Amino acid sequence: MPTLLLLGSNSDIGKACAYRFAAEGFDLLLATRTIDEEQQHLAADLRIRFNIQVNTLPFDAENQADHSTFYEQLPQKPDVALTAIGYLGSPEKARTDQAEVTRIINANYTGLVTILDIVAADMIQRKTGTIIGISSVAGERGRASNYHYGAAKAGFTAYLSGLRQHLRPLGVKVITVIPGFVRTKMIGDLPTPGFLTATPEAVANTIYKAYKQQKSVVYTLPTWRLIMLIIRHIPEFIFQRLSL
């Protein structure tokens, strides 16, 4: 059976993806910072419900020095690697706290690039595999409300684009997923428009469909593609005066 390496299996989107891929017969490597009781329960439920192999593995995106060892010690190498790691952080705190800036950048960009480079090198040797990265609409144009987070996501989107171009002739696929607003614990009580807010399950369905169809870039809600097209083309002198 194929194997999914799920980085960030404790996130709401990560859990939804675990169930979606498990339902399609994937064995799972669930990787997250802390293997707590909730993760153990998730793994046990997936094993029983879908009769698959499930391993739980400690993984810290910010501890980049351990990424090579983490990947080398996997019980099996993945056919699909999916990053569902993200950290919104506090935009207000980040303006004056360098530690918060570093955490935002590491969790949303640097730590993901480090591990995906390692995954890509392995898939190149095997001449097969798919890498799926979840980015954000926040990375499509910098906004005053969360420019550190947006900058990290912009870098991740650009990284996935370049990686996709590099790996295409080598037999490895790269998919960029841009969900838009998702009702998860990461955004907490932040108000978001209902018609622009997806569920984790909807994101998981989008991801699996994109994998099966070998898409390059997908939005969970098609409306976001049009919205971001408009936002990207607003002249800078007007954009600076908007409250976004």
Task: Report pLDDT digits (tens) over 165-190.
Answer: 999 999 999 999 998 777 776 665 66
Q: How many CB atoms neighbour CB 95 within 10 A?
A: 11
Q: Which amino acid is at 92?
A: E
Angle between helix axes 98-105 and 147-167 (nearest 10 degrees) is 30
Q: Vertex 119, ends 81 and 71: CA angle to 5°?
A: 95
Q: Cα-atom radius of gyration of the chain, to the nearest Å?
A: 18
Q: 8 with 32: CB under 8 angstroms?
A: yes
- What pLDDT was estimated at residue 223? 83
Strands 181-182 and 173-178: unpaired
27-32 sheet: strands from edge to edge? 54-58, 27-32, 3-7, 80-83, 130-134, 173-178, 217-219
Q: 123 with 73: CB under 8 angstroms?
A: no
Give the C-alpha distances (Å, rounded to integers) separating 15 from 38, 78, 149, 153.
Answer: 11, 18, 23, 21
Residues of the chain with pLDDT under 50: none
Angle between helix axes 111-126 and 147-167 (nearest 10 degrees) is 10
- What pLDDT was estimated at residue 192? 66
Query: CA-CA distance, 118 to 241, in Å (whole number)?
Result: 42
Q: Which amino acid is at 106?
A: N
Domain range annotation of the chain: 3-239
Residue 238 CB burial class (10 angstroms; 0-12, 13-18, ≥19): exposed
- What pLDDT was estimated at residue 186? 63
Q: 116 with 70: CB under 8 angstroms?
A: no
- What pLDDT was estimated at residue 31? 97
- What pLDDT was estimated at residue 5? 98
Q: Give the tokens for residue 2.
A: 């194929």
Which residues have a Cβ under 8 Å from the Cβ of 145 and sit 6 or more positions away?
91, 244
DSSP state letter for 56: E
Query: CA-CA distance, 244 to 218, in Å (whole number)?
Result: 23
Residue 193 CB burial class (10 angstroms; 0-12, 13-18, ≥19): exposed
> What would be the CATH architecture of the domain defined by 3-239?
3-Layer(aba) Sandwich (3.40)
